[in-house]
Amino acid sequence: MIKQISHLGMAVNNLEEAREFYRSVFGLESSEPIIGGDGDIKVSMVEVGGVLIELLQPIGSEGVMAKFLEKRGEGFHHICYEVDDIDTEIASLKASGVEVIGEPNLGAEGMSVFLHPRGTHGVLVELVEKKE
Ligand code: ZN
């Protein structure tokens, strides 16, 4: 079962510039950047009203985020929903014909997996089961 929106992922060219923009223009502080993905992205979180904005800057030019930016430019990248049980959710989505990308991975928030935009009306969807 989907419980709530966990975060919205935004692709940015320069994380420090984006963090400074969120701080000075929107008045929103962001977390210290961490390295995520397979070591190919730098991530910082901005909290607003219980929802997180995930700022994503590629490291290097080979990863999926670098390819996304090259093709689509900066902007909205994915929506992440928090689920209570990721394995149950994946099984039910697969049964509905939704394309799940790979296997769940342990990230900063918990186990997460992506759904291909082909099966979700054009939106890259991430599911996360938060760690206790
Ligand atoms: Zn995410």
Q: What is the mean pLDDT of residues 112-124?
A: 95
What's residue 4's pLDDT?
A: 94
CA of 7 to the centre of ligand 1 (A): 6
In terms of phi and psi (left: phi > 0; alpha: psi -120 to 50; beta: otherwise), the region of 14 is: beta
For residue 21, the CA-to-ligand 1 centroid distance in Å is 20
- pLDDT digits over 15-45, tens only? 999 999 999 999 999 999 999 877 899 999 9
pLDDT of 50 > 80? The answer is yes
* Distance (Å) from CA 25 to ligand 1 centroid: 23
The structure's pTM equals 0.92
Q: What is the residue range of 39's domain?
A: 2-130
Compute the half-sphere exposure of residue 62: CA atoms within 13 Å on the CB side of its CA.
3
Neighbours of ion ligand 1 (CB under 5 A): 9, 54, 80, 126
Distance 126 CA to ligand 1 centre (A): 6
CATH code at 114?
3.10.180.10
User: What's the number of domains the chain is made of?
Assistant: 1
C-alpha 27 to ligand 1 mean position (Å): 22
For the cut 80, the answer to whether the pLDDT of residue 108 exceeds it is no
